[in-house]
Structure 1
Amino acid sequence: MIYAVGLGAVIYTAAYIHFYAKKPKVFVKESSYMHRLLKTHVPVIREAYTPPYWCPEGRFQTIVKNFIPPPRPVTYKREIVQTIDNGQIYIDWASNDESSQYPDEETRPTVFIVPGLTSTSQSNYVVSMVDNLTQQGYRCMVIINRGLDDMAVLTPKAYCATHTIDMELVIDLFKKKYPDAPLVVIGVSLGSLMVGRYLAQKRDDSKLAGAMLWSCPFSPVEGSKSLEKWENRVLFNYHLTRGLKNIYNKFKDLFSHIVDHETVIQSKTIRDYDSSFTAKVFGYSSVDEYYEDAVISEKLKLFSVPTLCVGSDDDPFSPYYALPFKQAEDSDHVALVVTHGGGHVSHMDGLHPYAKSYFEKIMEQFMSGIFSSE
């Protein structure tokens, strides 16, 4: 029995070393500003990423990470913002007025976080990011998308991967209030698609000093196919779809003239929900048209601010073969870092489940590089 256990441990260790504990792949244009920025300020990407020995596989790491609470709570101040269509969104501020590194609020570097599908400022990964960033002296703000966190929905408009108007409103409001404070935006999962689209639309007029895209599903077309696989349906798709339907149920009457209620409620997958609700609310003829419009891989060439994309080779929401390797290497402003392992919005690092994630290490160094050049 002892020998069998020992042999099993040896085989597992050999497999772990073979598939994990490697340096990430970095796709960046040689001699570009991004290449120099990463070389000078982000040395962690030249180190091996070591996912937990006890949970290296991406799908299970994604699930485990979701249940690990952040090291410390974060206190926010909530601002209610009226949108241009008389709807509303929230901005949760972690102003960090006690910052010793940046005591002047007028020039304090600020990070704007655009979370994932149903995430809010209280989602574990968001709290952990904000805690890390405020420790570095930065101010943070988090957008709460329409209908989330028990927000009343006032107009028949929701949010989606191609809806950037609310995010743009937050950026404009911030720059009016703090015109001299540099601003970097981090988009996570669905939020990264919004940020990417915004960067492509605004180009030189983004009002941003830089951006990060974490676990970006660059091609929702391929991401949807991946989530339709039976194992991903069971682990992620059904659960997320149920959450979306629960949110929809709270304000379904507002959309009764746009969507068929029974069809929405009968949705089994995110694709079903996007077909019966999202595509119709945002004026698409089909879910395929919506997903095609949401693809940002070919839009990377339009980015004009330094943008670091961080993903993994086992992200069930963004399959490896669909990542924009060549587009990143052809861009003057984009770099793509892909880890071996890491899952979706996870990147747990080392043995300890509460340790700083690999993404947070990259985030910390990238922010330092961006803000030091301002």
Structure 2
Amino acid sequence: MQRLAMDLRVLSRELSLYLEHQVQVGFFGSGVGLSLILGFSVAYACYYLSSIAKKPQLVTGGESFSRFLQDHCPVVTETYYPTVWCWESRGQTLLRPFITSKPPVQYRNELIKTADGGQILLDWFDNDNSKSYMDASTRPTILLLPGLTGTSKESYILHMIHLSEELGYRCVVFNNRGMAGENLLTPRTYCCANTEDLETVIHHVHSLYPSAPFLAAGVSMGGMLLLNYLGKIGPKTPLKAAATFSVGWNIFACSESLEKPLNWLLFNYYLTTCLQSSVNKHRHMFVKLIDMDHVMKAKSIREFDKRFTSVMFGYQTNDDYYTDASPYHRLKSVGIPVLCLNSVDDVFSPSHAIPIETAKQNPNVALVLTSYGGHIGFLEGIWPRQSTYMNRVFKQFVQAMIEHGHELSNM
């Protein structure tokens, strides 16, 4: 790569000299203008190829998992080429929802009851037209968990379903309580530390299709919830494997990063208002338990959690909640193959908080760390409407685990 960068620099200099002295184009009376444009283009290409486009770092706790991924999920070892005009973290994060398409998906809705009298809305994509798995009882099932205020309508969820449809799989989206238009029946929402609702959903889905391969994928907070569940339950889960994308490993570090002035302006304040809106819709359920006026004055996610989330779930302090909710300390107890994709420039999940050493101690864990990609960004191509690096990792990994997962036990 260094040799390539040097060659590009030489080419840039030679092109500039040639155009300046040999080409007459009428721009500033000579070829200087065109020379500068081409010279800058070559210089930018040099910088992009030498400093931006890089292979991800693959960290695994065992040689078997590493070989398996290299054989059946090669995307995790290939160079990731971020969109050339938008590779910076904040740009990738902000633009992804507006640039990427939203494939049409027709859901079948199901409401299931919880032990405390509440209800959870599941959105099913049954894929009954699957030609690869015509028998519904054995059709692979992928459980999808959206992010903090996300639902089954998020573009990244829709793309995962579209990719699963191509493979012939069935998908079901776990919408957190009160987020997808259903009524709250009890004064309780959700948090990434409490895994009771996820356990209920996993048990329910598995009971419907006990003979079908069962995997899960979680994005951002959904991935944090999934990792906390896997860390608590160990190998006893009916899930065969799992994948997470852009998770926040240490909520203290996440909060500190998001509270920096620019990040607060671009992300933190907006997400706080989204959280306030989501609970204000069910305000009548909480007024006897929580000071909702105080909640609605929160200016950051940390303040919202201190005034609402930690109180709702019975933590003595918000620090207690953040400690319990951070999945890094449960990674060592994960008992099934898990692939975790993070970008080291993600302002939601700072690189120094990624548990690399812990991952090396668990043969079931693989971290895939890209240099760029932002938070749930991973844009690639000139105009990334359809494909992202995250989508390709998701597709190859679930296909690898369903079709070749048995090889892991033989390695």
TM-score between the two structures when normalised by the length of structure 2: 0.88
Aligned to 1:230: 261
Aligned to 2:57: 25
SS in 2 for 1:310: strand
Matches within 5 A, 1:352-371: 352-371=383-402
**In structure 2, what is the Cα distance between the partners aligned to 1:169 and 1:117?**
19
Give the residue type in structure 1 aligned to 2:196. Answer: I
SS in 2 for 1:106: helix
Structure 1 vs Structure 2 CA RMSD: 1.4
**In structure 2, what is the Cα distance between the partners aligned to 1:355 and 1:25?**
24
**In structure 2, what is the Cα distance between the partners aligned to 1:283 and 1:4?**
63
- Deviation, structure 1 residue 337: 0.2
Aligned to 2:185: 154
- CA shift digits 1:135-185 (9 cap, x unpaired): 111100001111112221111111011121111111111111111011111
Matches within 5 A, 1:1-374: 1-32=33-64, 34-70=65-101, 72-372=103-403, 373=405
**In structure 2, what is the Cα distance between the partners aligned to 1:336 and 1:18?**
23
- Deviation, structure 1 residue 71: 5.3
- CA shift digits 1:190-213 (9 cap, x unpaired): 011110111011112111100001
Give the residue type in structure 1 aligned to 2:51. Answer: F
**In structure 1, what is the Cα distance between the partners aligned to 2:317 and 2:236?**
31
- Deviation, structure 1 residue 344: 0.6
SS in 2 for 1:366: helix
- CA shift digits 1:303-323 (9 cap, x unpaired): 110000001011111001110
- CA shift digits 1:203-227 (9 cap, x unpaired): 1211110000110101111011110
Give the residue type in structure 1 aligned to 2:384. Answer: P
SS in 2 for 1:199: helix
Give the residue type in structure 1 aligned to 2:44. Answer: Y
Give the residue type in structure 2 aligned to 1:125. Answer: Y
1:70–1:127 CA contact under 8 A, matched in 2: no
Give the residue type in structure 2 aligned to 1:105. Answer: A
The more displaced of 289-298 and 107-116 is: 289-298
1:41–1:369 CA contact under 8 A, matched in 2: yes
SS in 1 for 2:63: coil
- Deviation, structure 1 residue 83: 1.4
- Deviation, structure 1 residue 256: 1.6
Number of aligned residue pairs: 373
SS in 1 for 2:81: coil
Structure 1: runs of 5+ lacking an equivalent: none
**In structure 1, what is the Cα distance between the partners aligned to 2:298 and 2:39?**
46
**In structure 1, what is the Cα distance between the partners aligned to 2:207 and 2:76?**
35
Give the residue type in structure 2 aligned to 1:243. Answer: C
- Deviation, structure 1 residue 13: 3.1
**In structure 2, what is the Cα distance between the partners aligned to 1:94 and 1:116?**
19
Structure having the higher Rg: 2
**In structure 2, what is the Cα distance between the partners aligned to 1:281 and 1:83?**
17
- CA shift digits 1:111-142 (9 cap, x unpaired): 00011001111111111111111111110000
- CA shift digits 1:7-38 (9 cap, x unpaired): 54344334323431110001013423x22321
Structure 2: runs of 5+ lacking an equivalent: 1-32, 407-411
1:61–1:348 CA contact under 8 A, matched in 2: yes
SS in 2 for 1:146: coil
1:349–1:355 CA contact under 8 A, matched in 2: no
- Deviation, structure 1 residue 78: 0.5
The more displaced of 223-232 and 252-261 is: 252-261
**In structure 2, what is the Cα distance between the partners aligned to 1:253 and 1:12?**
56
**In structure 2, what is the Cα distance between the partners aligned to 1:189 and 1:171?**
19
1:211–1:306 CA contact under 8 A, matched in 2: yes
Give the residue type in structure 2 aligned to 1:175. Answer: H
**In structure 1, what is the Cα distance between the partners aligned to 2:152 and 2:129?**
20
- CA shift digits 1:85-127 (9 cap, x unpaired): 1111100000101100111110111100011001111111111
2:111–2:122 CA contact under 8 A, matched in 1: yes
- CA shift digits 1:239-284 (9 cap, x unpaired): 1111111111111121122221121010111111011100100111
SS in 2 for 1:149: coil
**In structure 2, what is the Cα distance between the partners aligned to 1:303 and 1:314?**
25
- Deviation, structure 1 residue 366: 1.0
- Deviation, structure 1 residue 2: 4.6
